[in-house]
Structure 1
Amino acid sequence: MHPEGIHIVSTGTALPGPPVDNSALARRFGASDQWEEWIQLFIGTATRHLSVDLDTGERRNSLADLAELAGRRALDSASLAPEDIDLLVMGTATPDRLLPTTASVVAERLGIDDLPVFQLQSGCTGAFQALSTAHQLLGTGAYRRALVLGGELNEKYFDLGQDFGAMRPEQLINYVLFGDGAGAAVLAADPEGARAVVRHSSVRLTGLGRPAGQILEWFGPADRTSDRIPAVEDYKEIEASVPRMSREILDRLLSDLRWTPEDVHYVMPPQLSGRMTRKVLEALALPGAQEISCVVRTGNTGNATPFFQLEQALDLMSPGDRALGISVESSKWIRAGLAIERV
């Protein structure tokens, strides 16, 4: 049974550098005007923020840099000191290193010590996994406050020397879909200062027997010259599966909560791209719920995205309003959901 009465106290987010529009991407990679039009028509994302300077190739931020900033903003917003946190959980698919974990590095930078720290390696549902883990652990009564983090540094999979004309579509799409960023939230068992209560959280693996829809390779010293493609998206399968799976998550959330569609005031849909968001919203069929989206502006920031959505939702929601967050991870087809209510 999911614990009740776990509260969201604050959020914080961080983006690197100025927004990079489609024209800037096209110019950097020597692409044609038709390529820019293809992004707008088939992807629907206008800008994204990158930790790498496209002109010089210089990396300006690490994931730890962005997560530290987001975490500090969440703590400051909640008027909390590092010693007020007794649990830290982070979700990411792109940690700075295998070891030490990015979560541990961020904890040290924030001055947080002598507490459980977890880093969950996962794709788009990693933030939901981190939130759900904190939700469950706080519900045991063993902890008071948790700092939950999520973020990505997708640019490490960009090869700025690539010949775009020679790239396969499943490689090319990664250059236009993704952006970098990080987010954070403070969850607490005590309602003091809370902005919303978590009514439900769920994560379910549903990929038995299904090929992976997204693959990110890791190369070690023994195979660093491998000819494997570092990042691959089966975008056609993702496009077919994500709207349907989003609807399945919605139906499960409504059933578990005993809510009706009319009870949902805000919806935070999966944020693969602007075009995919429209398809997902059509499948969800929640005409009375206001969409909370950021992907057109930020690009797909993976595990940072739900925190950008939460930040927006908490600013918009009035007391009694309810919001649902939905996430689908295509790497091995994971479904995740989150329900909150404004206090």
Structure 2
Amino acid sequence: MTPPVPHIAAAGSALPGDPVDNTALAAALGISAEWIEVYIGTQTRHFARDLLTGEIRHSLADLCARAAAQAMERCAAEPADIEFLVLGTATPDHLMPTTASRVADLLGLDQLPTYQLQSGCAGAVQALDLARLLITGGAYRCGLAIGGDVCTKHLDVDRDMSAAAPGDLVNAVLFGDGAGAAVLTADPQGPALLRTLNRCTGLGREPGQIIDWFGLADRHENRQALTEDYKAIEENVPVMAVEILWELLDDLDWSPDDLDFLLPPQLSGRMTRLITEQLAVPAARPISCVDRTGNNGNALPFLQIEQLLPQMSGGQRALAVAVESSKWIKSGFALQKP
């Protein structure tokens, strides 16, 4: 018996508050808006807490539930139709209960398996990968894959960044908050999810990014919660992106000319443009959003899918590439509209 092929019936997103432009962010941090525009290339981002007061306005669970509810509404899926929920995030609201279980509660879902995958930029693809396996295994016919992050919990709005090193500045201006979601179904609604790639390739390599969790015993230690080797990321991510692209193409027996759409890695406006050029797929239309949303981690592939779905017509193909620099994870996926 041929296993069912999962399809993405609909996608949704949630971005908190109004967009924060570079002028407003630079003024709050005491740095140059021109520096952000030149070296990061991101124009706006959204924050789950007030930039001036630090007041938290949205939790990750709130954003993920909003994105999932929108996706369900767009394909007329009822809570009773959802048989599982998978959430990928690097910034859960709590260690316990899981944000995935909180999202299920907010959506009115009960008596179903929930999975939370702790991962950075590859977490969204990992969520799609697990959702795909649950459907192709035949046990389930419909479920939710969700990705989201609230990164501003690591942004100190009271810190004067005017004398900060470039590495610190990057972390202060690169990220945003948000969530995205997709309804996957065994019924032929929307493009088929033909392949997912999810592979850790960091054996023996230093992490490119570390996010610490502080407990009662160590929260007063003099170390940053978030550290990033941006030079290593700039050097390695473009190379890995090209490798991912060609591995997926070879696996599917597609040529670059077969691609109608390309979903490139979403690091920053500047880096995404450079990587898209290096991927060298001129026939494919790039689908990118990071220059307007900021790097909101696991939300980004779902935000790209949300943009992609209305543009795809019958027979068209799309390929997505995502790289996680924390321990150098290669990930991606391929879609084809029936």
Deviations 1:157-184 (A, max 9, x none): 0111112034332222111111100000
Match of 2:96 in 1: 99
Q: Name the CA distance, whole Å, in 2 between partners of 1:226 and 1:3.
A: 52
- Range that drifts further, 4-13 or 152-161: 4-13
Q: Name the CA distance, whole Å, in 1 between partners of 2:50 and 2:3.
A: 44
Match of 1:29 in 2: 29
Match of 2:267 in 1: 272
Q: Name the CA distance, whole Å, in 1 between partners of 2:68 and 2:87.
A: 11
Match of 1:329 in 2: 324
- Select which of 48, 51, 67 maps to 1:51: 48
Q: Name the CA distance, whole Å, in 2 between partners of 1:79 and 1:316.
A: 20
- Amino acid across the alignment from 1:318: S
RMSD: 1.2
Give the SS at the match of 1:39: helix
Match of 1:306 in 2: 301
TM-score normalised over the length of structure 1: 0.96
Deviation at 1:4, TM superposition (A): 5.8
Give the conservation status (yes or no) of the 8 Å contact 1:152–1:181: yes
Match of 1:146 in 2: 143
Give the conservation status (yes or no) of the 8 Å contact 2:29–2:162: no
Deviation at 1:37, TM superposition (A): 1.2
- Select which of 148, 158, 163 maps to 1:161: 158
Deviations 1:101-150 (A, max 9, x none): 00000001111111111000000000000000000111000011011110
TM-score normalised over the length of structure 2: 0.98
Match of 2:314 in 1: 319
Deviation at 1:3, TM superposition (A): 6.0
Runs of 4+ in 1 over 6 A off after TM superposition: none
Give the conservation status (yes or no) of the 8 Å contact 1:145–1:187: yes
Q: Name the CA distance, whole Å, in 1 between partners of 2:115 and 2:330.
A: 21
Deviations 1:37-96 (A, max 9, x none): 111111100000001111222111000110010011111111111111111100000000
In structure 2, stretches of 5+ residues that fail to align are none
Deviation at 1:315, TM superposition (A): 1.1
Matches within 5 A, 1:10-159: 10-31=10-31, 35-159=32-156
Match of 2:333 in 1: 338
- Select which of 247, 256, 268 maps to 1:261: 256
Q: Name the CA distance, whole Å, in 2 between partners of 1:15 and 1:166.
A: 30
Q: Name the CA distance, whole Å, in 2 between partners of 1:231 and 1:311.
A: 29
Deviation at 1:220, TM superposition (A): 0.4
Give the percent of matched residue pairs that are identical in Structure 1 and Structure 2: 55
Corresponding residue pairs, total = 337
Give the SS at the match of 2:162: helix
In structure 1, stretches of 5+ residues that fail to align are none
Deviation at 1:311, TM superposition (A): 0.7
